[in-house]
Amino acid sequence: MDYRKAFRVDPDSKLKLDKIDPAYTGKHESEQAALEEIDACKHKLTKQQGLLYAEHKHSVLVVLQALDAGGKDGTIKHVFTSVNPQGTSVVGFKQPTSAELAHDFLWRVHPHAPGKGEIAIFNRSFYEDVLVTRVHKMIDKATWTARCERIREFETLLMENGTTILKFFLHISKEEQLARFAQRLEDPHRNWKISESDYTERAFWDDYIEAFEDAIEATSTKHAPWYVIPSNHKWFRNLAVSQIMADTMEDLKLAYPKPTVDLDDIRRKYHAAVKEEKSGKKKA
């Protein structure tokens, strides 16, 4: 199954999240049934990341957005099991600092964009400035609209510099969110994730859904598409994100660079060094 085609939000299309089943798992009835495909995606992603790093011509930016407990951290953990930490980075965008608030809303983002050969993953992102700020009425419609336009321009700039942008909305149900909050309460290893906002923000669920729909519609473009990933099942979420990343990177036709030295000359020097070392050992 081509998850890019299945979950991509096409430019100028209308999005209704309540029409997308967050518990969808495609042809797979269970994680066990999907293990072969999960493993294949991991291997492909590992290969493509190695090529990306070696070729040093392209970069990849992965944007993860979700409601609380949507699985951003889990997705990042899964992706990082498939790539070399060298050449990858994760940046979390939380509430802006006073210094960041003194600048335009994209000021804090640009320094974290991936360089050539790199993958950068944004755990939340500049999209918070058209989501949280809108829901809590910190900005008006004119500001929200203008920011979406600036985001499109910013992403175009990154694309023109060789960055492939993949944006994932991890779609869970309201019931699944509550179940995950319960797990945080019961599991001592997850207690640290509990916050007051987990429950207070649930009161704004419908407002967040509307804000996400509008933001995704306004900013899903050909060069920076949004993908709505059914995420009630963590294993399927990880499978879909990995496949989309690997297939998109494969389309870049990445290749190892040609050697910058004369290989025949290096081989001659190598064999001469081996011969000299063996000769020295015999004399000893």
Q: What is the pLDDT of residue 199?
A: 79
Percent of the chain with pLDDT over 90: 85
Residue 116: CB atoms within 10 Å: 14
Q: Angle of helix 234-250 relative to helix 31-55, nearest 10 degrees? A: 30
Cα dihedral 127, 132, 134, 138 in deg (nearest 10)? -120
Q: Per residue in 62-94, pLDDT tens?
A: 999 999 999 999 999 998 888 998 999 999 998
Q: Are 44 and 250 within 8 A, CB to CB?
A: yes
Distance CA 138, CA 146 (A): 14
Residue count of the chain: 284
Q: CB-side exposure of 5: number of CA atoms within 13 Å? A: 3
Distance CA 130, CA 221 (A): 17
- Tokens 């209308």 belong to residue: 14
The letter for the amino acid at 97 is: T
Distance CA 256, CA 98 (A): 44
Q: Are 238 and 38 within 8 A, CB to CB?
A: yes
Distance CA 180, CA 168 (A): 20
**In degrees rounded to 5, what are phi and psi of residue 120?**
-115, 135
The letter for the amino acid at 192 is: W
pTM confidence score? 0.93
Q: What is the pLDDT of residue 283?
A: 67
Q: Are 226 and 216 within 8 A, CB to CB?
A: yes
CATH superfamily to which 3-259 belongs: P-loop containing nucleotide triphosphate hydrolases (3.40.50.300)
Q: Per residue in 136-150, pLDDT tens?
A: 999 999 999 999 999
What band does 191 get if pLDDT is binned at 50, 70 and 90?
confident
Supply the DSSP symbol for 256: P
Output the DSSP codes for 164-180: EEEEEEEE--HHHHHHH
What band does 282 get if pLDDT is binned at 50, 70 and 90?
low
Distance CA 202, CA 45 (A): 35
Distance of CA 7 to the CA centre of its chain: 15
Closest to 25 (Cα-Cα) out of 242, 245, 233 = 233
Please name every residue paired with 164 in a beta bridge, in sequence order, or none if there are none: 60
Q: What is the pLDDT of residue 127?
A: 97
